[in-house]
Chain A
Amino acid sequence: MSESPMLHVEEATKVFGGILALNRVTFDVHQGEILGIIGPNGSGKTTLINCITGFVRMTSGKVFFKGRDITGKPAHKIADLGVTRTFQIMRPYYTLPAYKNLVIPLFSPRAKRTGGWRGGGKLGDRDTVGIDILEEIGFERDSFVPYKLASSLPTGYLKRLELARCLALKPEIILCDEVFSGLSMSEIASMVPLIERLQMDGITLIMIEHRLRELFRVASRVMVLNFGEKLLEGRPEEVMADERVKTAYFGSEEVEEVMTYA
């Protein structure tokens, strides 16, 4: 950790019409790590991602990407730097087939700059590159799935499509907003290796999750938010053991589930 962290968030604060959605949250993410973010519903997790990626203007605080101040930059400029995000409520282009969904990010300045998918060369036919990315992310290549309209895809594929949109930009970091939620156990089981592979490819990840068991398997550190405040941060097992986390999550099925497996 000689250099500045990949992402440094300082005292991020967001007020929505009197509601303090985020209260002076400070944290770092380092190159290649997976930071988990957990917290009850309404604790400000999505707002935090929105603030970092420029979709929502922070009330106060600062965000640094690789030591560079990106606070207040427009969302597309931040994405152009390689700071990408998925949406909790999936946002595909419903009227386009899955692979055509990727033509749009592949048309972006960043994708044009970073060149062809998987190393060098000029970006070829964007349709082909799109299908390659979809295969990478778990769409069966020789099936009809990549060619189906996004409006007819089930949740599992839409979540993958969210990740695929980020990958098309050759991201430095992906901020995932609940990519596991709404998926069945077996779908999650097939997503986990995918996440691990992204990490192996050198992509840094921030993962908001309610699925604590799967999250704790991949995350190197976990941060807990509650009522917009950072409750604590630490290795998964430390976080699990914390009394306050148990209280904050009291009654939540996931925690009980994790506790029984822990």
Chain B
Amino acid sequence: MTTADRRKERLDRGIKVRSDGIYALLSWRELGYLVLPRLVLIAGLLLLPLVVPSLYWQRVISNVCLYALLALSFDFLAHYVGLVSLGGALFIGTGAYIAALLNKNLGLPLILTIPMASVSGAAICTLLLLPCLPLRGVYFAIVSLMYPLAMMRIIEALNIFGGTDGIMGIDSFPNHWVEQYFVLIMVLLFLFGLRRLVNLDIGLVFRGVKDNDQAVRASGMSITYYKAVAVFIASAIGCLAGACLTHIYMFSGISLFALDFSILPIAATVIGGGGTLAGPVIGCFILVPISELLREFGTLRIAFYAIILMAFIVFKSEGLMVYGQRKYHQFERWVKI
């Protein structure tokens, strides 16, 4: 049979659990169908530190989680608010410097510096991005990319916050278990939290801003206000990652404004499937370890990224998560035309 006289038919599985917010669970089997993917994800993540062999790879898990937080923040802004932000590096750098300064200068412990850096960092990032909120699409992306570059140069030129040397001797996490479980739980918390948020009424407003900002204005709501709220949420997640990073490496410096933090989350989102929130997290679990394996190739890694990205865009532009969801929720079969 040639492809000309047959086509793929897709049928939804005959379970009503997906009927938009109304859960009509009829059996344990259906409940299992619904919660299984979530359970696998949660259990898998929580078991990870236990099964990973070396200390080196355990550190990689922490890195993956920090990138996953950035990817969540990117996916939320890009696919639920319509702001394509390349501000990952800005969030990381801001969060890291605030946590470092609070720890080093005021002697505050981790348990205070991380939440404080997340919230105050988010406030700073939101204020910085506020003038750019009316910009759309690629213009917002470009401006958000300029900030980390500018920050780097400002710190360098004014020789503040330790200048090019950075800030060293910051407290680390008590031990690597606390470190890994803290970042893993943060990833799970924000993954499920954001998935919840985008289906709340305020989440619908965010999606409305993306879908049709003029209609939101016509509904008597300020789009700038809602964009600012969304940027605050996203930058808080990014700054949290930055604060964790600074405590993990016991260092904060201008290298934390590096473009990697802006670019890799986007690549992970493309691979994992934009708009799914879980997809970008999965994308990070693929990309970051690959990038570690390729470390000895130095900057040639970028070429590998580019090839992986291109392959995904060309062959599976929907991303792994969307593909997986479709396979999970639908039967497929070939039918004769």
B201 within 8 Å of A by Cβ? yes
User: How many interface residues does chain B have, given as a range?
Assistant: 10 to 19
B211 at the interface (CB under 8 A from A): yes
List CB contacts (< 8 Å) of A130-159 with chain B.
147
Q: Are B215 and A107 in contact (CB under 8 A)?
A: no
B218 in contact with A53 (CB, 8 Å):
yes
Which B residues are CB-close (under 8 A) to A147? Answer: 20
Q: Does A96 contact B (CB under 8 A)?
A: yes
Q: A169 an interface residue at 8 Å Cβ cutoff?
A: yes
Q: Is A104 an interface residue, CB under 8 A from the partner?
A: yes
Residue B330 CB within 8 A of the other chain: no
Residue from A53, A94, A103, A109 having most chain B Cβ neighbours under 10 A: A103
Q: Which residues of B lie under 8 Å from residue A107 when comparing CB positions?
A: 201-202, 204-205, 221
- Inside 8 A of B216's CB, which chain A residues have their CB? 76, 104
A 78-103 binary contact with B (CB < 8 Å = 1; else 0):
01100011010001111111001001
CB of B201 within 8 A of CB of A126, answer yes
Contact present for A109 and B215 (CB under 8 Å): no
A126 (CB) vs chain B CBs: closest residue: B201
Check A91–B212 contact: CB distance below 8 A.
yes
A93-B207, A104-B204 as given contacts; A87 in contact with B218, CB under 8 Å: yes
- Asked if B7 lies at the interface with its beta carbon under 8 angstroms from chain A, I say no
A108-B215 contact, Cβ under 8 Å, with A96-B207, A97-B20:
no
Please, which residue of chain B has its CB at the minimum distance from the CB of A90?
B215
Tell which of A95, A96, A107 has the most Cβ of chain B within 10 Å. A107
**B204 adjacent to A75 (CB under 8 Å):** no
A79 with B207: in contact, given A103-B201, A126-B201 (CB under 8 Å)? no
When the two chains form their complex, are residues B218 and A93 in contact, meaning their CB atoms are under 8 A apart? no
Give the chain A neighbours of B207 by CB distance below 8 A.
93, 95-96
Counting chain B CB atoms within 10 Å of each CB, the highest count among A55, A80, A100, A111 belongs to: A100
B218 adjacent to A104 (CB under 8 Å): no
A109 touches B221 (CB 8 A): yes
Q: A74-B222, A108-B220, A109-B221 are in contact. Are A87 and B211 (CB under 8 A)?
A: no
Determine the distance from Cα of A238 to Cα of B20 in the docked complex, in whole angstroms.
Answer: 53
Interface members, chain B 198-229 (any A CB < 8 Å): 201-202, 204-205, 207-208, 211-212, 214-223
Complexed CA–CA distance, A91 and B215 (Å): 6
A105 within 8 A of B: yes
A110 in contact (CB, < 8 A): yes
Does A76 lie within 8 Å of B201, measured CB to CB? Answer: no
Kindly name the residue among A76, A109, A169 whose own CB sees the greatest number of chain B CB atoms within 10 A: A76
A100 touches B204 (CB 8 A): yes
Q: Mark interface residues in B97-134 (1 if CB within 8 Å of A CB, else 0).
A: 00000000000000000000000000000000000000
Digitize B185-208: 1 where CB-to-A-CB distance is under 8 Å, 0 elsewhere.
000000000000000011011011
**A258–B155 alpha-carbon span in the complex (Å):** 73
Residue of B nearest to A169 (CB): B220
Given contacts A96-B207, A126-B201, contact A105 B217 (CB under 8 A): no
Contact indicator A76/B221 (Cβ below 8 Å): yes
Residues of A within 8 A of B220 (CB): 76-77, 79-80, 84, 105, 108-111, 169
- A108 contacts which chain B residues (CB < 8 A)? 219-221
Residue from A53, A95, A111, A165 within 8 A of B211 (CB atoms): A95
Chain B CB within 8 A of A239 CB: no
Q: Are A165 and B218 in contact (CB under 8 A)?
A: yes
Q: Which of A79, A95, A97 contacts B218 (CB 8 A)?
A: A79
Indicate if A215 sits at the interface (CB-CB under 8 A): no
Of B201, B204, B208, B219, the contact of A79 (CB 8 Å cutoff): B219
In whole angstroms, how far apart are the Cα atoms of A92 and B222 in the complex? 17
For residue A52, CB closer than 8 A to chain B, the reply is: no
Residues of B within 8 A of A48 (CB): none
A213 to B202, CA, bound (A): 42
What A residues does B201 contact at CB under 8 A?
103, 106-107, 126
Query: B219 and A93: CB pair below 8 A?
Result: no
Complex Cα gap A84–B207 (Å)? 21
Given contacts A103-B201, A104-B208, A107-B201, contact A55 B219 (CB under 8 A): no
Q: Which of A75, A96, A109, A110 contacts B217 (CB 8 A)?
A: A75
A166 to chain B, nearest CB (A): 8
From A77, A105, A126, B219 is in contact (CB under 8 Å) with: A105
Question: Taking the nearest CB of chain A, how far is it from the CB of B78, in angstroms?
Answer: 14
Q: Mark A157-175, 1 if CB is under 8 A from B, else 0.
A: 0000000010011000000
B204: A residues at CB distance < 8 A: 93, 96, 100, 103-104, 107
Chain A proximity of B210: nearest CB distance (Å): 9
A53 to B20 alpha-carbon distance, docked (Å) = 35
Least CB distance, A192 to chain B, in whole angstroms? 24
A105 to B205, CA, bound (A): 8
Query: Which residues from chain A contact B223 at a C-beta distance below 8 Å?
Result: 76
Q: Which of B217-263 contact A (CB under 8 A)?
A: 217-223
| Residues on the A chain within 8 Å of B211, using CB | 93-96
A76: B residues at CB distance < 8 A: 216-217, 219-223
Q: For the complex of A and B, list the 5 residue pairs with the smallest distance between their C-beta atoms, beginning with the closest.
A: A79-B220, A105-B219, A80-B220, A108-B220, A75-B217
- Seed contacts A53-B218, A93-B207; 6 additional CB < 8 Å A-B pairs: A80-B220, A92-B215, A94-B212, A105-B220, A108-B221, A165-B218
A-B contact pairs, 7 of them (CB 8 A): A76-B217, A76-B223, A79-B218, A93-B215, A96-B208, A104-B204, A108-B219
